[in-house]
């Protein structure tokens, strides 16, 4: 790379860009072992990631006539990724357990069901007296 940067056809800025690129590659050579990654079966191209982004995000968000706020996609996309990754069933069981703990077990933490607590609460069936006009 650096040898090709000495060609006379280059502008003064281009050799600096080539030098920056070569320095990056040299500094990060220990992370750039693509042959080892391929042998291990890892994907090294971005096409798979770009395809997943298109499938998961663009196809869902780019529906004709749809309007999205920032909160909408932040709520919908995690659920879509759970479904696509086949983790939905495991997530849903976890979700139900959390809902049960938060909404039901808390009501019975003192071993007295909520209805008994309500029935014991002091209340009157007669309306309060009207204020007296002075």
Q: How far apart (Å, rounded) are the C-alpha atoms in residues 6 and 88? A: 56
Domain boundaries, the chain: 47-86, 90-118
Task: Give me the residues of the chain with pLDDT under 50, please.
Answer: none
Query: HSE on the CB side for 131, CA within 13 Å?
Result: 2
- Note the pLDDT of residue 134: 61
pLDDT tens digits for range 49-58: 788 778 778 7
Q: How far apart (Å, rounded) are the C-alpha atoms in residues 74 and 80? A: 11
């Amino acid at each position: 790379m650096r040898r090709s940067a000495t060609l006379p056809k280059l502008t003064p800025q281009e050799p600096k860009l080539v030098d920056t690129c070569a320095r990056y590659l040299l500094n990060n050579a220990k992370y750039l072992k693509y042959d080892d990654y391929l042998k291990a079966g890892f994907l090294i191209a971005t096409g798979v990631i770009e395809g997943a982004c298109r499938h998961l995000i663009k196809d869902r968000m780019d529906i004709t006539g749809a309007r999205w706020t920032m909160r909408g996609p932040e709520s919908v996309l995690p659920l879509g990724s759970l479904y696509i990754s086949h983790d939905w069933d495991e997530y849903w069981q976890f979700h139900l357990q959390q809902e049960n703990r938060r909404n039901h077990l808390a009501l019975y933490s003192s071993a007295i069901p909520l209805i008994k607590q309500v029935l014991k609460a002091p209340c009157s069936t007669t309306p309060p007296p009207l204020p007296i006009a002075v």
